[in-house]
């Protein structure tokens, strides 16, 4: 049995160190100016979100010590300047949860070690051991967290103080708006990250906060529309045709953008019909999609400058799309691969609670079947990439056609999303149906990164354009 044990003495020392260090966080958020009307609306929507979305019942394994009006854990609350209760039970419970996640990661790694072959008895025992370690750590963590919850005295913990929580929220909102240069989605993502104690990784918006961002963003838009107040914040909305046309005409000769002439032709042609996508935005999209490589082919078959999928290309009216019979088979393998992997992980978590060898064998067998489909999927997509790169005729590899059809596709999604650039980018990457399904940005790493990177590139182009426009 693998044991990852944190002695009680170390836990106590950790508690004292963390408490001492984090108590210095009182100065971390210090803005004292009164919130604007719009900031007050945001704060109230945020408090409402947390009221309706608690951090997990104290009687379940999902409870992580998040409490109060902002659903913060005690260490994060203290780092932000609140007086919170931190006990040894909480610190040990938090450590045990990390142990459980480590055991889960090692268990998945062990199941994958079988590859596409039959699992050895030694491997099955290892999987069972990791499962038992995972369950032990999760159960002990849950018990300690329940003890922590029972020991809480609300009157001694400012997370339960409404006024203190509102004041803190107001200060974080101001700080995040400034940090995100007024962009509402990034400001909300910043708020969520700070109240969750999340580490900064370059971009504020991520899969861990996108559900929160979607909900509060929609609530803010609805409130502003009902009251008729000015939204104030940057809502990721596309500029009007006249502003875009004027800027592009003045800077296009000074901008170093590959395939600029094709882009200009498509822009001017669509401008006459009232369809407008800022060429600088579309250039940012191409930069992210293919890095301006007209022969780029992705691991799932998207091709060309604008990385159009075969089925999308056909729906857009592109005449020559290479789509062999095995292409759909590869997609089916991918779907089944993910389904089997998810099932294997679910079974792993219950191995120690059932017949260990039999359950471990069942879990590993599912992972092996997942890996077999992964290998077949990879082989088929590699074949597809080799064939399409080897001279097969495909309109997506024609720069002029890739830009023309990609522009039309993105413009349609942008119009559907009422000029919301972030949602249009999400729709382009994951499909418009996903935006509708999640009521905003889908919680997919690829899609969130796609949005973040393109907006970063777009801002770079706008900054360059502003400098060169002034020269």
Task: Specify the range with the lowest mean pLDDT, choosing from 15-29, 68-82, 140-154.
Answer: 15-29
The pLDDT value recorded for residue 389 is: 87
Pick 94 or 26 by higher pLDDT. 94
Residue 288: both structure tokens together: 């992210």
pLDDT greater than 70 at residue 7: no
b/e per residue 273-291 (b: at least 16 CB within 10 A): eebbbbbbbbbbbbbbbbe
Please tell me whether the overall predicted TM-score, pTM, comes out greater than 0.85 for this model. yes
Which CATH number is 311's domain given?
Answer: 1.10.530.10
Local confidence band at 68 (pLDDT 50, 70, 90 cut-offs): very high
One domain, residues 406 and 361: no
Whether residue 32 is found in the same domain as residue 110: yes
Query: What pLDDT is recorded for position 62?
Result: 85
In a domain, 229, yes or no: no
Please indicate, yes or no, if residue 202 is contained in any of the structural domains: no
Residue 2, in any domain of the structure: no
Residue 423: pLDDT band with limits 50, 70, 90: very high
Residue at a domain's end among 367, 389, 411: 389
64, part of any domain: yes
Query: Quick check: 286 pLDDT over 50?
Result: yes
What would the mean pLDDT of 238-266 be, rounded to a whole number? 95
316 with 330, same domain: the answer is no
Query: Does the pLDDT value for residue 471 go beyond 90?
Result: no
Q: Is residue 208 part of a domain?
A: no
pLDDT at 51 > cutoff 60:
yes
Statement to judge: residues 300 and 344 lie in one domain: no
Chain mean position to CA 466: 31
Report the pLDDT averaged over residues 176-202: 93
Question: Which residue's structure tokens are 């809480």?
Answer: 152
Residues 355 and 451 grouped into a single domain: no
Flag whether 234 is in a domain: no
What pLDDT sits at residue 59? 58
pLDDT higher than threshold 90 for residue 319: yes
- Say what angle helices 279-290 and 241-251 make with each other, to 10 degrees: 70
Q: In this structure, are 23 and 158 located in the same domain?
A: yes
Q: How far apart are the first and last CA of the chain?
A: 70
Are 19 and 54 part of one and the same domain? yes
* Domain range enclosing 367: 325-389
- Considering the domain architecture, whether residues 315 and 381 belong to the same structural domain is answered as no
Domain count, the chain: 3
Instruction: Assign 58 a pLDDT band (cuts: 50, 70, 90).
Output: low
Residue 203 has pLDDT above 70, yes or no: yes
Which one of 340, 368, 389 terminates a domain? 389
Average pLDDT over residues 8-36: 48
Same domain for 331 and 317?
no
- Give the C-alpha separation, 40 to 20, whole Å: 33
For the chain, the average pLDDT equals 91
The model's pLDDT over 74-127, given as tens digits with 9 standing for 90+, comes to 999 999 999 999 999 999 999 999 999 999 999 999 999 988 888 899 999 999
Asked if 246 and 133 sit in the same domain, the reply is: no
Residue 217: inside a domain: no
Residues of the chain above pLDDT 90, percent: 81
Confidence of residue 470 (pLDDT cuts 50, 70, 90): low
**What pLDDT sits at residue 5?**
38
228 within some domain? no
Query: Residue 6: what pLDDT?
Result: 41
Beta bridge partners of 183: 234
Q: Would the pLDDT of 17 be above 50?
A: no
Q: Which of 374, 389, 404 is the last residue before a domain boundary?
A: 389
Q: What is the per-residue pLDDT for 30? A: 52
Same-domain pairing of 163 and 254: no
The reply to whether 412 and 348 lie within a common domain is no
Confidence of residue 12 (pLDDT cuts 50, 70, 90): very low
- pLDDT category, 345, cuts 50, 70, 90? very high
């Amino acid at each position: 049995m693998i044991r990852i044990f944190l002695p009680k003495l170390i836990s106590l020392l950790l508690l004292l160190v963390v408490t001492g260090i984090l108590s210095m966080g009182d100065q971390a958020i210090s803005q004292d100016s009164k919130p604007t009307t719009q900031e007050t609306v945001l704060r109230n929507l945020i408090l409402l979100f947390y009221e309706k979305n608690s951090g997990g019942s104290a009687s379940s394994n999902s409870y992580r010590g998040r409490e109060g009006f902002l659903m913060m854990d005690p260490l994060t609350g203290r780092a932000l300047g609140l007086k919170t209760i931190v006990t040894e039970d909480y610190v040990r419970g938090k450590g045990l949860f990390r142990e459980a996640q480590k055991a889960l990661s090692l268990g998945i790694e062990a199941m994958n070690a079988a590859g596409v072959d039959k699992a050895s008895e030694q491997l099955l025992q290892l999987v069972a051991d990791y499962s038992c370690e995972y369950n032990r750590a999760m159960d002990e963590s849950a018990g300690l967290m329940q003890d922590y919850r029972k020991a809480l005295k609300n009157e001694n913990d400012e997370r339960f103080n409404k006024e203190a929580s509102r004041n803190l929220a107001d200060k974080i909102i101001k700080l995040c708006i400034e940090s995100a240069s007024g962009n509402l989605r990034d400001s909300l993502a910043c708020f969520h990250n700070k109240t969750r104690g999340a580490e900064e990784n370059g971009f504020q918006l991520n899969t861990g906060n996108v559900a929160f961002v979607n909900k509060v963003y929609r609530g803010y838009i609805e409130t502003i529309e009902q009251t008729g107040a000015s939204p104030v914040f940057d809502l990721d909305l596309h500029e009007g045709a006249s502003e875009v046309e004027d800027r592009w005409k003045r800077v296009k000769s000074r901008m170093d953008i590959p395939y600029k002439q094709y882009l200009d032709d498509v822009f001017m042609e669509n401008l006459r019909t009232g369809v407008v996508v800022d060429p600088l935005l579309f250039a940012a999209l191409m930069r992210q999609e293919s890095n301006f490589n007209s022969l780029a082919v992705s691991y799932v078959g998207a091709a060309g400058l604008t990385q159009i999928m075969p089925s999308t290309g056909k729906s857009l009216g592109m005449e020559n799309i290479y789509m062999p019979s095995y292409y759909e088979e590869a997609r089916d393998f991918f779907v089944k691969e993910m389904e089997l992997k998810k099932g294997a992980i679910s079974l792993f978590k219950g191995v120690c609670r059932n017949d260990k060898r039999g359950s471990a064998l069942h879990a590993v067998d599912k992972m092996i079947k997942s890996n077999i489909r992964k290998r077949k999927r990879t082989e088929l997509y590699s074949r597809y990439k080799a064939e399409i790169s080897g001279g097969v005729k495909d309109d997506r590899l024609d720069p002029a056609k890739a830009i023309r059809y990609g522009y039309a596709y993105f413009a349609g999604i942008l119009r559907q999303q009422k000029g919301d650039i972030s949602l249009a980018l999400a729709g382009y990457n994951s499909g418009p149906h996903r935006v509708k399904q999640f009521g905003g940005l889908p919680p997919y790493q690829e899609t969130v990164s796609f949005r973040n990177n393109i907006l970063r590139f777009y801002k770079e182009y706008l900054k360059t354009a502003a400098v060169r426009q002034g020269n």
